[in-house]
Amino acid sequence: MRTAIKATKTFSLDKELLAEVKRTKGELSESERVNRLLRFALELEKRAALEREVAGFFSANREDRAERQAFDSASRTPWERE
């Protein structure tokens, strides 16, 4: 585990979340459990953003693909006549 620089911050958490952290912390401290959960959530968020970016990239290329297929089809027609 990496060395953490401790910085005291104040956050407001719902009582239900605090109870769930306490219930699931195992042998970790509550702070360590919260840090792991936050890292996991941030990684999930990053992956979701990348997936949206990839989906946007490929959805934009679908239009290009249709245009390319039309061009290829039109290009083949003169060759087929000869």
* Tokens read off for 52: 């949206």
Interacting residues of 75 by C-beta distance below 8 A, sequence separation 6+: none
Domain count for the chain, please give it.
Answer: 1
Check whether 78 has a pLDDT greater than 80: no
- CB within 8 A of 30, min separation 6: which ones? 18, 21, 22
Residue 8 forms part of a structural domain: no
Q: Summarize pLDDT for 23-34 with one digit per residue, the tens.
A: 999 999 999 999
Would you call 58 helix, strand, or coil by DSSP? helix
Residue 25 located in a structural domain: yes
Residues 28-67 have pLDDT tens digits of 999 999 999 999 999 999 999 999 998 887 776 666 677 7
**Owning domain of residue 65:** 16-81
Decide if 3 is inside a domain: no
Task: Answer whether residue 6 is part of any domain.
Answer: no
